[in-house]
Structure 1
Amino acid sequence: MSRSIFAALFLTTSSVAFSAAAQSWVQVEALPSLRAAEERARAYSSALKDVNGFRLRTGWYALTLGPYSEAEAQAKLRQLRGAGIIPGDSYISDNRPYRQQFWPVGGSAAVTTPEVSQQPATATPTPAPAPVELDETPREARTTEALMSRDQKKELQVAMQWFGYYKSSIDGSFGKGTRNSMARWQDANGYKATGILTTKQRKVLMDGYTSALAALGLGQVNENKAGLELTMPIGLVEFDKYEYPFVQYREKDGSGIEALLISQPGDENTLFGLYDVMQTLEIVPLEGERSKARRSFTLTGQNEDIHSYTYARAEGGYVKGFTLVYPPAKAADMARVIEIMQKSMVVTEGTLTPDLSDATAQGVDLLSGLDVRKPSLSRSGFYVDGLGHVLTTAEAVASCGRITLDNTYEATVKAAGNGLALLEPSTSLVPLNYARLATSVGRLRAPVAVAGYSYEGALDAPTLTYGTLEDLKGLGGEAELKRLELAALPGDVGGPVMDMTGAVTGMLVDHDVNGKALPTGVRFALKSSVLATFLSENGVVAAASDNGIQLDAEDLVVLGTDMTVLVGCWE
């Protein structure tokens, strides 16, 4: 049974001494592993007393509150479950399911009927009953309510909003929406649903809210180096390090929560550059809502392992914000924390500077010490028309969960066959240039060049690798292939093979010759006629090269760079 780690951290129960009659327990959870049960017991015990853990007959591990008398257990169950403090399926149990105790460590809460003493009983004076606390009538409650300030009324609305009873704006006005919320809270907590909270009920609500904030460790952070002030869950995270432009907070005591404070000089252009960069990080999963305003943005990321929320804004020559990372099971609690962090964030003078960074943790797969999301495979491709269609090898995009062009633009496979794949961008693209296919097979021993991302994206632009045309067929006589003498790398596969006029004479492919290890420099390319046929069959009219003049080396580099694209295959 998976429950939010904070669902039980809102109120403190009173300890009840064990007696022969106190044999009822409030069972709140059962978990299949001892380790998980101990973690949950530790979480409950940070704010609740009477937390016990027992091994069940089934082999699972139960977490309970108690022991109580039956009446006390029923009262606790109603109070805590109604307030959302313990899971809604918590229930009353007796001793029978429970075996060895594992929590508290070294504890010995009795789960068997106590031995009856053989000594003669002595009369024990019956204590006087505690006076019954008189509550207010609705008329009296309205009278005391009228004495509340507007800020106090707002605080009451915030508390009801925290527990999920109030959904409207925090305005300090007790209208119909607020009254209905009060009635729902009263009903859930065992009170008569009048829609008017008595003085006692207001105290119960506010005490629960205060306990909830305390359990989450919310507190004010004044980060002078970063120029930020905000309320954040300092009980769940602890300072780690400065890595420009972030102040990094790691999880505390196994909370599973991490946080970043964002601080750098800049304007709206810097802000939206950060928007793009943040989406390359592993802590910002691809699924989730993204939104940009004129001077701010929000990013949500969600997968089965983590959720995250990022907010940043440009203000006063600075870009400031935060990221909160948390397990999916804690989403409900963290939604409230995020709201508090965002509303409380104040931008002050000052910002982090790069000299605060610890460069020892940097690498090509890191950004400020954080893991950058990388494709599982990167190969080359090239534009084949002015609409942004890209031709690459089928191997480059086989079994991809997601395909990108230049790590930026999404693309899908429009057609595949004969070792080729035609990609269509999800958004309209206008490439700087595209391939013009050669109309002749070329001359043996003529120079050729392949434009490709030899280092699979480590460099921002493609490189040109020069070689020669060695044969007009493959080693096995394959008519669709050419053999090249070329020192290409795996990242170049899918790139255009050009002659010195800039005409595309083929595509570099990773051809397997029956598993043989060929001499270094032996490479293969599919002929331009094969490419033209494949494109025509799939609705793309290939442009033919009409340039018979040899290009300068610099112009050939520009042409190859403009038409070649990095194809990323993501899991």
Structure 2
Amino acid sequence: MRLRMVVLAMLAVLGLSGVAMAQQQAWVQVEAQPSLAEAEARARDYAAEFPNVAGYQLSSGWYAIVLGPYAPEAAAGTLADLRSSGAIPRDSFVTDDATHRQQFWPVGAIAGQEAPATDLTVVDPAVQPDLPVVEVMPAEETVQEAKASEAALDADGRKALQTAMAWYGFYEGGIDGAFGPGTRNSMAAWQEANGFEATGVLTTKQRDALVANYKADQAEFGFASVSEPEAGIEITLPLALVQFDHYEPPFVHYTEKANSGLRVILISEPGNQDSLSGLYDILQTLEVVPAQGERSKNDKNFTINAVSDRVQSYAYAEAKNGMVKGYLVVWNPADAERMSRILPALKSSFRGVGDKALDPGLVPMDDATRSGLLAGMEVKLPKLSRSGFYVDAKGSVVTTVEAVAQCGRVTIDRATEARVVAQDQASGLAILQPSTPLAPRAFAQFAAGSVRLGSEVAVAGYSYEDKLPAPVLTFGTLEEEKGLNGEAGLSRLAAPVLAGDAGGPVLDGTGAVLGMLLPAAVKGAKLLPDGVAFAAQAGVVTQALTAAGITPTTATATDLATPDALNAAGLGMTVLVSCWE
């Protein structure tokens, strides 16, 4: 007689209540959904790509989509292969069937629906047919049984569990094989996160799943201990994702592999606390180190955790025994889940070894490259840089509105963040406040009276924007105290100024500020001959300062300043104002 049968009926015939095939099964869980409808839809999608998709309701009430079954030793390799090829989500993992309850996929396996017809025939138990050999699998261990099986682990087995839990972020203690309160709490947290009862004691199946998934991650990322004797650094790197490229002291470059989007730069140079501080400042100028994110720095080390919508990076360096050593890791923010598994391995494994730092002469470089410490790395550049000058002892700055138009952020002298507190399109003036109070060497002393036409003047500014490290003085003459069409508040100068000088102070022979240099060209205006420039007069500037709540200082000196004094006054108050995306 031909009958339709389900597994439970067959078990009843066999007289067994918990049977499985002799070989233990493992699955690769790719997703879990909170509702049956969502789970069926996703299972259908996976079934279009994979021939071995199954779905089970979990003991937690969620619905798991799995691939398999596989032999346990094959499951980890399958997981690694599928994850590395991008065929399944990166948070997929190996599991057993301990939490599987009602099967919902394939659809014919759902309770209440007819299963496919089989050719099995019910026989009279008294006939005692030759039945297939089956093995009764033990039920999930009790806490006592789990402790007993745990006690049989050797030291390496216990350490392996701690290592795996640390890899997944559940354990932060030492890898010592001692299962104290910290390890037990970590085990409970892992169990809870994976849908098991949080007993703090892993069963045999749970231990096997944890270690198998850890080994799959190691295979996927290709972790290996890397020793760089030239740099005196040892670190564990994911060599399936990065590969050595070249030395450019003080950097050792590991570039992306297989389009991973991951880069690792090791840092090694002779130096002390000053070198560490300089390195910290230099890294901030790199395109791969966004301005947003957390920073921490002291005399011994620093960390930078920088992030934008396009790039994320983490840097660490320390000064020790006359050497500065560290690393910079760069990745795509979309790879956050993958990096949550990779970055802890780099952090925990990095160490400086020996008494050797990367030799600056290891590869030939010109002096400019070596002094900048930026070989092979793209430096962040502002959209625009102009000049400005301090107007009080707190570091308030006046500049041109051109320097702050449509900026994501504004800096003073590259390093200090500033905010725009006032700007006036009519006069062309903008006023900045530094994010932290500054102590300028000099600030503007504004001229109180008129100046004789034809007098020599000096313009202090960053003529070449950010290409030079300091401002320069450009000399010229005062031609007229009004605009070409008779506009009040303007001074016309004859001086060979450049675009970067705009926003800088115009000084008379005593060092008093006569005004602020304005940009040479305005959209839609006529082009002026070379050497013709205009400045907003001192009265216009002081009026704007007063309106912004800043008290301007009036110059009192009447004697001509010496060249050194004029340099000190003009260059000491002038700053580089940069506009960034």
Q: More displaced, 543-552 or 357-366?
A: 357-366
8 A contact 1:84–1:163 mirrored in 2: no
The amino acid that maps onto 1:370 is M
1:504 CA drift (Å): 0.9
1:537 equivalent in alignment to 2:547: yes
Flag the structure with larger Rg. 2
Q: Alpha-carbon deviation of 1:200?
A: 4.3
Which residue number corresponds to residue 379 of structure 1? 386
Which residue is 1:139 aligned to?
144
Larger mean Cα displacement after TM superposition, 172-181 or 421-430:
172-181
Q: Which residue matches 2:572?
A: 562
Q: Report the residue type matching 2:525 in the other structure.
A: G
Query: What RMSD in Å do the two structures reach over aligned CA positions?
Result: 3.8
Partners of 2:494 and 2:532 within 8 A in 1:
yes
Partner of 1:98: none
**Paired residues, what number?**
494
* Match status 1:445 vs 2:454: yes
When residues 471 and 240 of structure 1 are mapped into structure 2, their CA distance, relative to the original with a 3 A threshold, is same
Match of 1:324 in 2: 329
The aligned counterpart of 1:430 is 439
Please give the residue correspondences for 1:157-236 in structure 2 after superposition, counting only pairs within 5 Å.
157-166=162-171, 172-175=177-180, 178-179=183-184, 181-183=186-188, 185-186=190-191, 194-236=199-241
- Please give the residue correspondences for 1:57-136 in structure 2 after superposition, counting only pairs within 5 Å: 64-68=49-53, 76=67, 84-85=91-92, 128-129=132-133, 131-134=135-138
Matched, 1:390 2:400: no
Q: Which residue of 2 aligns with 1:248?
A: 253
User: Measured at CA, do residues 75 and 423 of structure 1 come closer, stay the same or move farther in structure 2, by a change above 3 Å?
Assistant: closer
Q: 1:129 to 1:416 in 2, by over 3 A?
A: farther
Structure 2-normalised TM-score? Answer: 0.76
TM-aligned CA deviation for residue 142 of structure 1? 1.8
Check if 1:306 corresponds to 2:291.
no
Q: Which residue of 2 aligns with 1:481?
A: 490
Instruction: Among all aligned residue pairs of Structure 1 and Structure 2, give the percentage whose two residues are the same amino acid.
Output: 46
Pick from 409, 415, 434 the counterpart of residue 416 of structure 2: 409
Evaluate the alpha carbon distance shift between residue 130 and residue 485 of structure 1 in structure 2; reply closer, same or farther with a 3 A threshold. farther
Is the CA contact (8 Å cut-off) linking 1:28 and 1:63 kept in structure 2? Answer: no
* Residue 464 (1) aligns with residue 449 (2): no
**Aligned residues of 1:26 and 1:65 also touching (Cα < 8 A):** no
Letter in 2 for 1:381: G
Letter in 1 for 2:278: G
- Range moving further from structure 2, 554-563 or 520-529: 554-563
Match 1:517 to one of 510, 527, 543: 527
Structure 2: which 5+ runs fail to align?
A: 1-27, 33-42, 58-63, 70-74, 80-87, 96-102, 108-128
Structure 1 residues 93, 421: CA separation in 2 closer, same or farther (over 3 Å shift)?
farther
Q: Which amino acid in the other structure matches residue 359 of structure 2?
A: T
Task: Note the alpha carbon deviations across 1:116-169, whole angstroms, 9 max, x for none.
Answer: xxxxxxxxx999455345475543432332243556434312312433555667
Structure 1 alignment gaps of length 5 or more: 1-24, 30-53, 96-124
Q: What is the alpha-carbon distance in structure 1 between the residues aligned to residue 403 and residue 198 of structure 2?
A: 64
**Alpha-carbon separation, structure 2, partners of 1:323 and 1:286:** 15
- Give the Cα separation in 2 of the matches to 1:127 and 1:163: 45
SS of 1:342's equivalent in the other structure is helix
Whole-angstrom distance in 2 between the partners of 1:538 and 1:69: 70
Change (3 A) 1:330 1:368: same
CA, structure 1 residues 94+456, in 2 after alignment: closer, same or farther (shift >3 Å)?
farther
Asked whether the 8 Å contact 1:366–1:372 carries over to 2, the reply is: no
Q: Give 1:205 shift.
A: 1.8
Q: Which residue of 2 aligns with 1:346?
A: 351
CA shift, 1:555, in A, is 2.5
Q: CA deviation at 1:206?
A: 1.3
